[in-house]
Amino acid sequence: MARVELASEVGADLDRILDHLQRHEAEHVAARLREIIAAVDVLRTNPLIGRPTGNDKRELVIGRGSRGYVALYRYVTGIDTVFVLAVRAQREAGFAGP
């Protein structure tokens, strides 16, 4: 089972997502954040599930539409570790951070 490590920038990404959800009075904010965390946790048992994006990185698609997010990550097979680099809403343009 792979280890999952979150880059420090991921905390800021989740804060940004939480702030956006609260400002726009989205329903079930806590449940939506749990969905993101649960999806990232899947990488422990399926580290290659995300689509390749180049530069040894992959994207894990989480949900869809206005409830959709994407986690950018890199899986290092030699140490069996997934490094989650960023999380963004699917409607955002590009990733913040690395």
d(CA 26, CA 67): 10
- Give the global pTM: 0.86
What's the pLDDT at 90?
Answer: 81
Is 13's pLDDT higher than 70?
A: yes
| pLDDT value of position 74 | 98
* Chain segment 28-84, per-residue pLDDT in tens: 788 888 999 999 999 999 999 999 998 999 999 998 766 789 999 999 999 999 999
**SS3 of 58, please?**
strand
- Short-list 50, 35, 38, CA closest to 82: 50
Residue 17 has pLDDT above 70, yes or no: yes
Q: Residue 23: what are its φ and ψ, rounded to 5°?
A: -65, -35
Q: SS3 of 83, please?
A: strand
d(CA 83, CA 81) in angstroms, rounded, equals 6
Q: Is the pLDDT of residue 97 over 50?
A: no
For 80: left if phi > 0, alpha if psi spans -120 to 50, otherwise beta; the answer is left
Domains of the chain, each with CATH number or no CATH: 3-89 (3.30.2310.20)
